[in-house]
Chains A and B, each alone.
Chain A
Amino acid sequence: MQTFIDAYSWLNLRYLLQGLWVTVEVSVISVILSFILGTILGVIRYSEIKYFSAIVGFVIDLIRNLPLLLIIFFTYFGLPNLGFKPPVIAAAIIAMTVFESMMIAEIVRSGIIAIDKGQMEGAQSNGIGYWTALRIVVLPQAMKNMVPALVSQFISLIKDTSLGTIIVLPEMMYHAQIIYGQNTNYIIPMFVALAVLYFIVCYALSLVGKYFERRLA
């Protein structure tokens, strides 16, 4: 018991929470960027522009089917080989954004498909152009249905930031490793703290997702 009390000294807790803050920072920035990029890519893939959509679709499938860890390696260890060395946080954000925007593109595409075709036809027969109809008629409806899927994607993004440990991203997992690296008695308390903190953040978000799901149903 005493080790638990020692392990959760204010100094250690503060260090962990600083890590949690980096986790939140990286995931919020990445999710905003990938939401924008993913929506654009999803719309391109949906709209069947000759060749272009097919190529974009193929790239989305390629990246979606790679492990995020590999993409992190690409951005942090691979890019310097091409003469561009991003700082750690930037590398993590780039990797997360690239990966997540492909995931979100798929969510957007299937969200648009789920909207009744009559909406698009109706809008177009009222003289609204294809892109305008997509933007002001179809997408807003699709977005509403996509909220639960987007929230669960955000949750997995938060969990995935822990992979940043491998490029020494100063997030919570890495900070915990530093703490228990100094004193092996703190290993179990640190894992408990990690589990609890991640759980609180992710579970709270999943409740938000469930709330939207219920409201939509």
Chain B
Amino acid sequence: MIHIFATEWQPLLQGFGQTLLCSIIALFFSLIIGTMFAIFEIMPNKAMRVIGNIYVEVFRNIPLLVITMFFFVVIPLYVVKISGFAAGTIGLTIYTSAFIAETVRAGIQSVDGGQMEGAQSNGLSFWQAMRHIILPQAFKIVIPPLGNQFINLVKNSSVLAFVAGFDLMYQGNMIANDTLQTMSTFFAVGILYLIITMPLSYYMRHLEKKLA
């Protein structure tokens, strides 16, 4: 395994960077989209609630691979040419945003209803109350589950290997094919994944304990 690190550090490092990059981009956009659909789901307007529900249920119940392959196969064929990395990141974003929407919705609903009523009776509109009063409180509650979503996101980013996204898993597969030392290559790749996910998962557990 040390041998793999010594000789193949370049592609491994590159893959590590791509995995991090794609995870961070996907996290950023799925936070925005997820929060948006979470708000849709609890809006007074029924049509919006239905839209929010459909989005969440549809993308939570379809495998990430199907979504990603759709962007890798269908979109370049009929709409616009995009790279494997882009296809993978878009797929990840959509898939993760559905889970984040569920998490954030639970967070919003755990904020006391009186907060919204109080804000509105003080003359704030629904959106103002949401932005200044409800969301800040909700996000404090959902930080640990969001952290776990991010860990899942990093792990799920391995689907980029299917779409030539040059991520860690893809590079690992390539190195394994070249060197034929499958076991030690996958150990090396595993350690690199754990460098990202392990500290995060312990930190989230610590936060959960602190908040409980």
Mark A residues whose CB is within 8 Å of B. Answer: 61-62, 64-70, 73-74, 77-82, 155, 159-160, 162-163, 165-166, 173, 177, 180, 184, 187-188, 191, 194-195, 198-199, 202-203, 206
B74 touches A159 (CB 8 A): no
Chain B residues within an 8 Å CB radius of A180: 73
Q: Choose among A66, A81, A160, A206 the residue that contacts B181 (Cβ–Cβ < 8 A).
A: A81
B74 touches A166 (CB 8 A): no
B193 touches A67 (CB 8 A): yes
Chain A residues within an 8 Å CB radius of B73: 180, 187, 191
Interface centre among B60, B63, B173 (most CB of A within 10 A): B63
Pairs A–B under 8 Å by Cβ, sample size 5: A61-B202, A65-B155, A67-B157, A67-B169, A74-B183
B198 touches A61 (CB 8 A): yes
Q: With an 8 A cutoff between CB atoms, is B58 at the interface?
A: yes
Rounded to whole angstroms, the CA-CA distance of A65 and B151 in the bound complex is 7
Chain B residues within an 8 Å CB radius of A70: 158, 169, 172, 186, 189-190, 193
Q: Which chain B residues (161-207) contact chain A, with CB distance < 8 Å?
A: 161-162, 169, 172-173, 176, 181-183, 186, 189-190, 193-194, 197-198, 201-202
B183 touches A78 (CB 8 A): yes
20 additional A-B pairs beyond A77-B186, A173-B66, A177-B69, beta carbons within 8 Å, are A61-B198, A66-B193, A66-B197, A68-B155, A69-B158, A70-B169, A74-B183, A74-B186, A78-B186, A81-B183, A82-B183, A165-B162, A166-B162, A187-B74, A191-B70, A191-B74, A195-B58, A195-B66, A198-B62, A199-B61
In the complex, residue of chain A having the shortest beta-carbon distance to the beta carbon of B77: A187
In the complex, residue of chain B having the shortest beta-carbon distance to the beta carbon of A188: B74
Nearest 3 CB-CB pairings of A with B: A202-B61, A67-B158, A65-B197
A66 touches B155 (CB 8 A): yes
Chain A residues within an 8 Å CB radius of B141: none
B194 touches A62 (CB 8 A): yes
In the complex, residue of chain B having the shortest beta-carbon distance to the beta carbon of A158: B63
Q: With an 8 A cutoff between CB atoms, is B90 at the interface?
A: no
Rounded to whole angstroms, the CA-CA distance of A145 and B187 in the bound complex is 36
Chain A residues within an 8 Å CB radius of B172: 70, 73
B169 touches A69 (CB 8 A): yes
In the complex, residue of chain B having the shortest beta-carbon distance to the beta carbon of A201: B61
In the complex, residue of chain B having the shortest beta-carbon distance to the beta carbon of A79: B183
B172 to chain A, nearest CB (A): 7
B66 touches A191 (CB 8 A): yes
B201 touches A194 (CB 8 A): no
Rounded to whole angstroms, the CA-CA distance of A79 and B173 in the bound complex is 14
A61 touches B201 (CB 8 A): yes
Q: Choose among A81, A155, A162, A191 the residue that contacts B61 (Cβ–Cβ < 8 A).
A: A155
A165 touches B65 (CB 8 A): yes
Rounded to whole angstroms, the CA-CA distance of A203 and B56 in the bound complex is 11
B63 to chain A, nearest CB (A): 4
A159 touches B63 (CB 8 A): yes
B66 touches A77 (CB 8 A): no
Chain B residues within an 8 Å CB radius of A77: 176, 182, 186
Interface centre among A64, A77, A198 (most CB of B within 10 A): A77
Q: With an 8 A cutoff between CB atoms, is B112 at the interface?
A: no
A79 to chain B, nearest CB (A): 8
